[in-house]
Amino acid sequence: MKVIVAHPGKQHSLRLASALKKSGFLYKYCTSIYNSNNSILNKILLLFLNSNNKKRILSRKSYELFDSDILQFCELETLLLTLYTRVFGNTKFSNIIRTVISRRFQKKLAKYIIDNKIDVVISFDTNSELLFEILKTKAPNVIKIIDHAQTPRNYLHVIYQQYIFSSGKFAKTFEGSGFVFDKSFSEKFVKEILLADYHIVASTFSKKGLFFSGISNDIIFQIPYGVDFEKYVNSNVVSRNINKFFKVLYVGEISQRKGISYILEASCKLLSYPIQFDLIGSGAQYFPDLFENIPDNVFLHGHKLLDELKLFYSDCSVFLFPTLGEGFGLVLLEALSAGLPVIVTKNSGGPDIIIDGYNGFIIEAGDVNAIYEKILYLFLHPSHYHEMSLNALESVKNYSWDNYEKNICQALNKINLLF
């Protein structure tokens, strides 16, 4: 069985390709930007990038894949788009260009699949419609699988609509995601869902999104992601002194899709306590007016690469992830690996990972009082906090990348038997 994994970006596609390479399934990993030894464009670009952007480019590589396993399309235009979004963020213009590049990528990929008689293609959400349309017409025997890194957009549109009013001025951070406001735009992604033969999701929440689109459970494989446990594990879990200073960590995009305004509201209610909020991620720079007068106990640190990020995981007390809608949330596993109890909304992979009161708390999205109450509870109950920290370390052990690879291969074997 000849399998292609294809993603014009990255997300967890490298992990997926590596898993299939180990099992002998992978024929090619198809992407746009990849740090291959043969890429002259990459070598030229690295001469002009700052250290952080160099590290991002260099991270586009798996040492479990040979350069001969890699197939690249649309490299130059994707690099230019990436540089644009680093400066201006996600805008309507960047979304239009991203769509144009994606369609070109899909056309080239479809031709390659047909010419090389590929058996299975695993593509990703929002980057599959044209590919699947071409294959349905010209190569109907190819098995088409979507790996949903994010929950289906038409379902997220319905979810986000519930919170636009309570978001106030922060609602404008939704503007880079056209599907939030435009129902017809969100529904355009349903076609690729219906064209797929099988679906891979990481969470029950994402599975609900597929049910919303009329997909039956028997063609859905729910496979949670893994984490490199040893990168984040904290030997100081038992000795953390949370009474001296309690630090709440958030890692992700600084936008209302992630519930940022609710973090700021909750922080205001906790100003009288020695509790600090450390927010890691990019996005605030595009909306400076929203963050001019943030509470004194909130610190915006911007985007951090892994080496710096690990220090925050080690130094903080609890992890907060008040997302309005998330396909999974890899940061949840990273936080648990560092021994941080997690406060997370139901609209994510949280309910699959977190046992309420054991290794964290599950809250409703948009509930500022719940954020305030859970943080204050952990601060005021150090013995339960330390117990939950140890439980966090224990509970994450089942979420290894080895288990992810095993489950992916089992799914493909099952699909192969069905066909």
Task: Give the 3-state DSSP-derived string for 253-267, with helices as H, strands as E and coil as C.
Answer: CCCHHHCHHHHHHHH
- Residue 57 banded pLDDT, cuts 50, 70, 90: low
Determine which helix (DSSP H) or strand (DSSP E) holds 250, and give its type and residue range.
Answer: strand 246-251
pLDDT confidence of residue 131: 98
Q: Which of 48-57, 202-211, 326-335 has the lowest mean pLDDT?
A: 48-57
Q: What distances in angstroms separate CA 276 from CA 56, 247, 251, 333, one per listed residue?
A: 29, 5, 14, 22
- Residue 174 banded pLDDT, cuts 50, 70, 90: confident
DSSP-derived letter for residue 347 is: S
Separation between Cα atoms, residue 332 and residue 225, nearest integer Å = 11
pLDDT confidence of residue 236: 63
Record the pTM.
0.91
Residue 106 has pLDDT above 70, yes or no: yes
DSSP-derived letter for residue 142 is: S
Yes or no: say if 146 and 196 are a contact pair by the CB < 8 Å rule.
yes
pLDDT confidence of residue 50: 63
- Tallying the residues shown for the chain, one arrives at 419
Name all domains of the chain by residue range, CATH numbers in brackets: 3-152+189-226+401-418 (3.40.50.2000), 229-398 (3.40.50.2000)
Backbone angles phi, psi at 97, to 5 degrees: -65, -40
Determine which helix (DSSP H) or strand (DSSP E) holds 144, and give its type and residue range.
Answer: strand 143-147
Q: Compute the Cα dihedral for 60, 64, 65, 66 and give only its sign.
A: positive
Mean pLDDT of 379-385: 96
Determine which helix (DSSP H) or strand (DSSP E) holds 147, and give its type and residue range.
Answer: strand 143-147
Residue 157 has pLDDT above 70, yes or no: yes
pLDDT confidence of residue 86: 78
- Residue 92 banded pLDDT, cuts 50, 70, 90: confident
Separation between Cα atoms, residue 346 and residue 351, nearest integer Å = 6
From the centroid of its chain, how far is CA 123?
A: 16
- Residue 188 banded pLDDT, cuts 50, 70, 90: confident
Q: Which of 8-17, 87-96, 259-268, 299-308 has the lowest mean pLDDT?
A: 87-96
Separation between Cα atoms, residue 123 and residue 110, nearest integer Å = 11
Separation between Cα atoms, residue 178 and residue 31, nearest integer Å = 24
Mean pLDDT of 356-383: 98
What's the first-to-final CA gap in the chain, in angstroms? 11
Residue 87 vs residue 305, higher pLDDT: 305
pLDDT confidence of residue 241: 60
Mean pLDDT of 346-367: 98
- Both tokens assigned to 267: 């922080």
Chain segment 107-117, per-residue pLDDT in tens:
999 999 999 99
- Residue 36 banded pLDDT, cuts 50, 70, 90: confident
pLDDT confidence of residue 139: 98
- Residue 51 banded pLDDT, cuts 50, 70, 90: low
Chain segment 235-246, per-residue pLDDT in tens:
566 556 666 789
Q: Where are the beta strands (DSSP E) in 75-219?
A: 120-124, 143-147, 198-201
